[in-house]
Amino acid sequence: MISKMERLVQRKNAQSMCYNFSMPKPVFEFIIYILHACAEKWSVFPSAAYKKLKDSDCINKLLVPYYDIMHTQSTSYIVGDIEEYLAARGVSV
């Protein structure tokens, strides 16, 4: 069980992370949009989709570096690319 102090520290760390990132706003908005598209397709909560993308490093190794190309593609195409990326790393959706 997590103590009240640990929860406060976790919340403070989460808030710090939100304010200290250096990602351009359009890239951040794109990632949030795609995250919700994945969650909808996989019939899971966005938090579960985020965990899969974060744990597989999909955000940092696929979505951010290839934003310039990916943001011009259809949502279903990008979600398909993400599914292929995850499958190659043994992550089920």
Residues 53-91: tens digit of each pLDDT: 999 999 999 999 999 999 999 999 999 999 999 999 999
Ordered by start, the domain boundaries in the chain are 23-88
Among the residue ranges 11-15, 17-21, 49-53, 63-67, the one predicted with the least confidence is 17-21
Q: Give the number of other Cβ atoms within 10 Å of residue 21's Cβ.
A: 9
With a CB cutoff of 8 Å and minimum separation 6, the contacts of 78 are: 34, 37, 70
